Structures are given as structure tokens and as C-alpha cells.
């Protein structure tokens, strides 16, 4: 069987237009198995969460002040050097490697050097931009053809290859890549060669991302409208009747979190599902992990292992978090045991996420508390808990209410620390990301995280701070307010889906935006 990612080989992979979910399955497979990944300045950094090897960003042009410019010749040399050292190398490129990218130049360099390579196509920016902006380039009522055109010709070429007379007469949709700086020239050249001044036209910036913006208008007025809107690259110019469809088939900008930058503060290893949910709802996830989940220290780990070995002798296993489930079951497996070792012990869980964690290990709870917190679980267990022995794998900072209620009711509760909360390694790095990425919302998913947010991001305590705070539960809200954080949205269901739903509801409500600088909106003519 051929290996998923061969050593001493380079893979030129299209990353798609920006939305991380638009990467191909082959691209995701190669990222996971590559020894080293070189990704260009237009690639969404969230895709690096799929990578297991070393990653390095290589921007060929300056897209922001933090990225150094890497000449194309240097990129080619790095690919060749890494492959010659026997590594599997992914060169991840925005859009498709061969559509107005330099993938073919890189392939030629690899061919000349005798390096094996494979090219993996990607969704090119134009097709995605049309779909996400609400344009069908080849709708049968408007166009039977579409042309992809560069807006920037090679500067040292003596002759111009763009024939504006032919482009003006082209019977379909025109899509210009990399043309924002030459927009006025492009529009004027088309009109001078016969394209009607009232032809519908648009510029789409940062297509498929939460920062997507669209400006539309007649060809004669488009450059002025775009200048007034202060549109930024990367962008595409679309010219043709298809632009009028935006009024009826635009869907992306109607998503509940569109345009919202969501700060996710839970631990790094738990973020992927939340990131995916934010993206699918049109938002931009900003990872800001305020805590780490680590195993207990050696002394407590020995106690946990003892509880795992003897769990089959208990009456109840109590789980108050998904982390507790994961930690307990991983120790069970580490000790060479499996689900059969649990015997007839009954299982109680708090909330849907804890129940889902159990289901992932093929275990179904006998009792699930309807609302979050140890108090709710105690309430659900009280009718039949007297005289029983319970094992509770908990966090090191777990609140004592569950233990107190059950022991007062006559149960014997063996609480063992299954995991501990630790601060992240660099608060300064988190502060830098907070200030540079500028989230619109910070999500608080526990009282511990609420206190950490107040410590790491003190500006949140300022009533004038434009960043809003969302809480997952009343208990978290109480902790946030005690730490000086005003809470602007609270989940009705104490789960991450409920937290994101609360933000979406607040975005729809005018009350949530009082005195807050509004995000720039699309300007349609």
C-alpha cells in the first residue's frame, strides 16, 4: 500500500479561498502526515491545526506588517532542500496552485531538481467568491461563459497580453484577480472599448471569510464606490449581469454569526468543534486558550489509578465534565482495561456534552442532569443515593456542592482528581493576539475561565471596551461579574452551541449594540 505522504517528496496543495472547511480531503490528509508545511500569506492559519509537523509561513508579498516577504526563488530552494533531506513537504497555497498562483513555477523547479512531487487542486478564489457573494457566473439567463483574468500583468513584459477590446466584447462574466490597485484603469479600459457604463459590477474582498465585504454598482461608478468603502486586498472584480443576482441568492452574509470575531477561551485541545461551529455560522474564530487541561500530579494520579482499578465495586460513577470522562477512560485504557471492567456500576452525567463524551466511549449514562452544575446532578440522584458508594472523577478546582449534597444524603463519595486546570504558558502572547486580532466577543465557558479573562485581558473590565462578553451559564456570569466583567449575553442552554446562539441573538438585538462601533457593512448599489 502506498504511504499517505511519501518521504523526500513535495506536495503542492491548494488551500481554497479562505474558509478552512473548503480544503479538499486529499489536502487535509497530506497536512496531517507531512513532516513540514510551508504555507503562503493567503492561507487561513486555522488550517495549521490539521498539521502534525513543523509549519512555516512564507508570504511572497507584504499583506500585513507582521509577515516577512519571502522571494519565490527562496521558497523553491526551501522545498528542494527539505525534500532532499528525506522529508515529506506540503506547500500550501491559497486557492488553486495553478490559477494565478506560482504553483507551476514551483513544479518546474522541482522537476529540474529531480524532486518527486504531486499537485492537489484547490477551490479557486473566483468560484468561491461568486458563490459566497451571491453570484452565479454562468446562470443561463445571464451568461454562457466566464473569463478569469489577471489584474496585474508581469511588469517587465514588453507587450500587453490583455486585449481590452476582446474583453469588452466578451459574451459573459469577467472576473479579474489581483486588480484592486488597478480598478479604475480596468473599468475605464473596458468602457473605452465598448462595454456599457451601466454594466453591473462588484468587488468582493476576503471572500468566504467573516471579514467578507462586497461593493456593487455600475461599471462607471465602481471605482469611486470601492475607494469610499476603503476595500482591502485580497479581492476580486466581477463584471456582468450575474451581479444583479446578489439581491436574491446571497446566503453567506445571512448566517447568524457573519462578521463576528469570536474569542474562544477554552483549552487548546477542546477547540476544534467550537472553531468549526463558528466558521459554519459565518464567524471568525480567534483561539485565545486561557487554560490548559493537564493530568494530575503523580500523587493524585496514583489515587486516580486506584479508583479506576476499583470502580467496578462502586454503585455510581459521577461525571461532571467531558474532561472527567476523557481522563478517567484514558487511565482505564492505560491500565490495560476496557469498558467491561466497569461491571454493573451505574453512571450519572451532567449535561449533553458530558453525555456525548460518554457515548464516544460506547457508554450511556443512567442519569443525566437536565441543567448544568453539580447541584443539578445531586438533585437528580437524591431519591436513590442513600447508602450507596460513588466515585467522582473531578477537576482539581471542582466546586464542592455535589460532594456535600450527596454525603449529607447518606452516600459515600470518593472524589478523585482526574485532571487539573493550569494557566496557559504565555499571557503576553495571548494579550498580543487579543489586541491584534480584535475580537468582537469573548466567550466564557466556566468560572475559572471568567477569572482568567479578567486577569489576562484587563481592558474587558472597562465599560467603554468595545469587546463584548458572553457567558455559558448563570454561575459563570456570576464569576465574571465578581471579577469586574460586564456580561452582554448568557446562554440559555449551558453548552457551547447555546453560547454561540446567545451571541447570535444579541447580534440581532439592537440593545446589544448600544454605543458600540459598528462593523463596516457591505455597500450595494
Find out whether 188 and 216 touch, Cβ atoms under 8 Å. no
pLDDT number for residue 511: 42
* Pair (260, 335) in one structural domain: no
Out of 231, 252, 273, pick the residue that ends a domain. 252
CA atoms within 13 A on the CB side of 229: 27
Paired with 293 in beta bridges are 421
* Pair (168, 236) in one structural domain: yes
User: Would you say residue 4 lies in a domain?
Assistant: no
User: Would you say residue 279 lies in a domain?
Assistant: yes
pLDDT number for residue 65: 52
User: Would you say residue 459 lies in a domain?
Assistant: yes
The total of structural domains in the chain comes to 4
pLDDT number for residue 153: 67
* Pair (343, 245) in one structural domain: no
pLDDT tens column, 423-464: 776 788 899 989 988 899 999 998 889 999 999 999 999 988
Q: For the packed helices 322-334 and 351-360, what is the interaxial angle rounded to 10 degrees?
A: 20
User: Would you say residue 343 lies in a domain?
Assistant: yes
DSSP string, 8-39: TEEEEEE-BSS-GGGS-HHHHHHHHH-SEEEE
User: Would you say residue 142 lies in a domain?
Assistant: yes
CA distance 40 to 468: 32
Out of 122, 155, 184, pick the residue that ends a domain. 122
Please compute Rg for the chain using Cα positions. 28
> What is the span of the domain harbouring residue 459?
255-290+425-513
* Pair (64, 116) in one structural domain: yes
CATH of the domain at 28: 3.40.1010.10
pLDDT number for residue 2: 62
CA distance 173 to 192: 18
* Pair (215, 304) in one structural domain: no
User: Would you say residue 519 lies in a domain?
Assistant: no
Please choose, from the candidates 390, 395, 330, 391, the residue with its C-alpha nearest in 3D space to the C-alpha of residue 360: 330
Using the structure block, give the residue that is written with the C-alpha cell 464567524: 283
User: Would you say residue 226 lies in a domain?
Assistant: yes
Paired with 469 in beta bridges are 442
CATH of the domain at 162: 3.30.950.10
Find out whether 41 and 61 touch, Cβ atoms under 8 Å. yes
pLDDT number for residue 475: 87
* Pair (432, 283) in one structural domain: yes
pLDDT number for residue 1: 56
DSSP string, 87-141: -EEEEEESB-TTSSSSHHHHHHHHHHHT--EEEE----HHHHHHHHHT--TT-TT
* Pair (214, 283) in one structural domain: no
Out of 122, 153, 174, pick the residue that ends a domain. 122
Per-10-residue mean pLDDT for the chain, 525 residues long? 78 96 96 96 93 87 62 92 96 95 93 96 94 91 90 62 91 94 95 96 95 96 95 93 88 94 92 94 95 91 95 94 93 94 93 88 90 80 88 90 91 93 81 90 93 94 93 92 95 90 90 40 36
* Pair (90, 25) in one structural domain: yes
* Pair (419, 433) in one structural domain: no
pLDDT tens column, 86-114: 999 999 999 999 999 899 999 999 999 99
* Pair (62, 205) in one structural domain: no
* Pair (413, 316) in one structural domain: yes
CATH of the domain at 413: 3.40.50.10090
Average pLDDT value for the chain: 89
- List Cα–Cα distances, 266 to 46, 50, 108, 323, 427, in angstroms: 16, 18, 44, 12, 14
User: Would you say residue 520 lies in a domain?
Assistant: no
Phi-psi region of 273 (alpha: psi -120 to 50; beta: other; left: phi over 0): alpha
Q: Which three cell numbers, joined as nine digits, stand for 129?
A: 467568491
CB atoms within 10 A of CB 78: 17
* Pair (101, 220) in one structural domain: no
Amino acid at each position: 500500500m502506498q504511504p499517505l505522504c511519501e518521504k523526500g517528496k513535495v506536495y503542492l496543495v491548494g488551500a481554497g479561498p479562505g474558509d478552512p472547511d473548503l480544503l479538499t480531503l486529499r489536502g487535509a490528509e497530506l497536512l496531517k502526515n507531512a513532516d513540514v508545511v510551508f504555507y503562503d500569506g493567503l492561507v487561513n492559519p486555522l488550517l495549521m491545526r490539521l498539521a502534525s509537523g513543523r509549519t512555516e509561513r512564507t508570504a511572497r508579498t507584504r499583506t500585513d506588517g507582521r509577515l516577512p516577504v519571502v522571494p519565490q526563488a527562496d521558497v523553491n530552494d526551501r522545498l528542494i532542500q527539505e525534500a532532499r533531506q528525506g522529508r515529506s513537504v506540503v506547500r500550501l497555497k491559497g486557492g488553486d496552485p495553478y490559477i494565478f498562483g506560482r504553483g507551476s513555477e514551483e513544479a518546474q523547479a522541482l522537476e529540474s531538481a529531480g524532486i518527486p512531487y504531486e499537485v492537489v487542486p484547490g477551490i479557486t478564489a473566483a468560484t468561491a467568491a461568486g458563490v459566497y457573494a451571491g453570484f452565479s457566473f454562468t446562470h443561463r439567463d445571464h451568461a454562457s461563459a466566464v473569463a478569469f483574468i489577471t489584474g496585474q500583468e508581469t511588469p517587465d513584459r514588453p507587450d500587453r497580453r490583455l486585449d481590452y477590446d476582446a474583453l469588452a466584447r466578451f459574451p459573459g462574466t469577467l472576473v479579474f484577480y489581483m486588480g484592486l490597485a488597478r480598478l479604475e484603469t480596468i473599468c475605464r479600459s473596458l468602457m473605452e472599448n465598448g462595454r456599457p457604463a451601466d454594466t453591473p459590477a462588484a468587488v468582493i474582498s476576503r471572500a468566504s471569510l467573516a471579514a467578507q465585504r462586497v461593493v456593487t454598482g455600475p461599471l462607471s461608478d465602481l471605482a469611486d464606490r470601492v475607494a469610499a468603502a476603503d476595500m482591502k486586498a485580497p479581492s476580486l472584480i466581477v463584471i456582468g449581469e450575474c451581479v444583479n443576482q446578489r439581491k436574491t441568492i446571497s446566503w453567506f452574509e445571512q448566517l447568524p454569526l457573519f462578521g463576528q470575531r469570536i474569542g474562544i477561551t477554552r483549552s487548546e485541545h477542546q477547540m476544534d468543534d467550537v472553531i468549526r461551529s463558528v466558521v459554519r455560522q459565518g464567524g471568525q474564530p480567534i483561539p485565545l486558550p486561557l487554560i490548559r487541561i493537564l493530568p494530575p500530579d503523580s500523587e493524585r494520579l496514583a489515587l486516580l489509578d486506584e479508583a479506576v482499578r476499583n470502580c467496578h465495586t462502586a454503585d455510581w460513577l459521577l461525571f461532571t465534565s467531558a474532561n472527567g470522562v476523557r481522563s478517567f477512560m484514558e487511565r482505564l485504557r492505560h491500565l490495560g482495561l476496557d469498558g467491561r471492567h466497569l461491571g454493573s456500576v451505574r453512571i450519572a452525567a451532567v449535561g449533553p456534552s458530558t453525555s456525548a463524551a460518554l457515548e464516544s466511549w460506547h457508554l450511556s449514562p443512567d442519569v443525566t442532569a437536565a441543567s448544568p452544575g453539580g447541584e443539578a446532578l445531586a438533585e437528580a440522584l437524591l431519591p436513590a443515593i442513600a447508602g450507596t458508594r460513588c466515585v467522582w472523577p473531578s477537576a482539581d478546582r471542582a466546586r464542592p456542592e455535589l460532594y456535600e449534597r450527596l454525603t449529607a444524603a447518606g452516600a459515600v463519595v470518593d472524589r478523585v482528581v482526574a485532571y487539573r486546570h493550569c494557566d496557559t504558558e504565555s499571557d503576553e502572547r495571548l494579550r498580543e493576539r487579543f489586541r491584534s486580532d480584535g475580537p468582537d466577543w469573548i466567550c466564557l465557558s466556566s468560572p475559572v475561565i471568567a477569572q482568567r479573562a479578567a486577569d489576562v485581558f484587563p481592558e474587558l473590565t472597562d465599560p467603554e471596551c468595545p469587546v463584548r462578553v458572553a457567558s455559558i451559564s448563570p454561575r459563570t456570569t456570576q464569576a465574571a461579574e465578581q471579577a469586574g466583567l460586564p456580561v452582554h449575553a448568557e446562554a440559555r442552554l449551558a453548552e457551547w452551541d447555546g453560547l454561540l446562539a446567545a451571541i447570535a441573538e444579541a447580534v440581532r438585538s439592537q440593545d446589544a449594540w448600544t454605543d458600540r462601533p459598528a462593523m463596516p457593512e457591505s455597500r450595494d448599489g
